[in-house]
Structure 1
Amino acid sequence: VNYSGLASSKYAALARKYAPKGAGAVFTFSLKGGYQAGVDLVASLKLFSHLANVGDTRSLIIHPASTTHSQLDDAQKTAAGAAPNMVRVSIGIEDKDDLIADLDQALGG
């Protein structure tokens, strides 16, 4: 998981400086299974919207390698922060338990 609100993030100090009330609701995580795992995860979600924007009231998810960065080769995707196995999530105002349940079912939990 990549999230600037975590103490282990290389951006944690910047997040504390520029967002003292919290780092926000956007984060990324990588999946075992590579590119196809990202595509499958997005397709399996029921509550999350598949959109590229962030900061919406709805919870959003995108797999940049198959969408916004699809024109790049794998090395370029990784260099741009859009590795083939990475997904980006923006958490909205839905109930956290509903969001967790949706992710859990999509991840096969």
Structure 2
Amino acid sequence: MRKIRRFVALLFLALGVAAGGLLNADDRGDHELARQALERGQVLPLRTVLDKIEREYQGQVLKVEFEEDDGRFFYEIRLLQKDGRMAKLEVDAADGRVLKVKRK
């Protein structure tokens, strides 16, 4: 049940649904960009990427950001790993490849 609730919350964030007005105007713009990129087939669905990340990095996703740089799309994902360390991953949104990992 927790996974379903987390998925729904992240889906709201990824698709730009302003649940209860929690997203500011800038967030809505970023999420609208993510929704449009998904509709055009330029990026993988967030759930697909999160399934891969959770399997490979064994952690709980805490935050997801969607970014665009020079026409390329990225998911920035922060997760708390089982060993208690925080990991920040930069993931290519087009193919799900992890491009960069920073751990604290």
TM-score (norm 1): 0.25
TM-score (norm 2): 0.26
Higher strand share: 2
Higher helix share: 2
Instruction: Return the index of the structure with the highest Cα Rg.
Output: 1
